[in-house]
Amino acid sequence: MHLRCEASPDRARPLRHALGAFLAAVDVDVANVEDVLTAVGEALANVVEHAYAQAGVSATEMELVAHTGDDSALWIDVVDHGHFLERPPRPHRGFGLRIVRAIAREVSIDATEGGTRVRMLFDLRAKRAIGG
């Protein structure tokens, strides 16, 4: 699955719904579906809130890519074409990536001048995806 749309709050929910349909089509256990959708929802929210916040950035797109592997692995990429901002800790903020890392078995962030890719690996053999 590969979807692309404008990076806006009203577009993140349809992406999550499309991912949910994809997960159902590939027969992912319901307990894992909720975990995956939570992690991906956090990554999408980060794109909407942060990727294009810097002045002078004209692109406002986000992409969602998902595929399964032969080894019961589910790979999901959330991609933007903005700038990754490393921010200092703020009270009651900054939990998105912590949530993603708590749920996915592996998380990598590839930030370049051309954008950011958050890649998440979920193990579908486990009853729940949390903590892999």
> pLDDT at position 87, please?
59
> pLDDT at position 129, please?
43
> pLDDT at position 46, please?
87
Domain membership of residue 131 (yes or no) is no
**Cα-Cα-Cα-Cα dihedral of 15, 70, 118, 41, to 10°?**
30
Which tokens is 8 given?
Answer: 């806006």
| Number of domains making up the chain | 1
Reported as a single tens digit per residue, the pLDDT across 10-50 is 899 999 999 999 999 998 888 889 999 999 999 999 888 87
Q: Which helix H or strand E contains 15, and what residues bound it? A: helix 9-25
Distance CA 120, CA 46 (A): 14
Task: Provide the mean pLDDT of the chain.
Answer: 84
Domain membership of residue 69 (yes or no) is yes
Domain membership of residue 130 (yes or no) is no
> Domain residues for 70?
2-123
pLDDT at residue 54 above 70?
no
Domain membership of residue 132 (yes or no) is no
CATH of the domain at 104: 3.30.565.10
> pLDDT at position 59, please?
58
pLDDT at residue 132 above 60?
no
Reported as a single tens digit per residue, the pLDDT across 61-84 is 999 999 998 778 999 999 998 876
> pLDDT at position 114, please?
82
Please spell the DSSP secondary structure of 35-76, one letter per residue: HHHHHHHHHHHHIIIIIT-STT----EEEEEEEE-TTSEEEE
Domain membership of residue 35 (yes or no) is yes
Domain membership of residue 40 (yes or no) is yes
Domain membership of residue 29 (yes or no) is yes
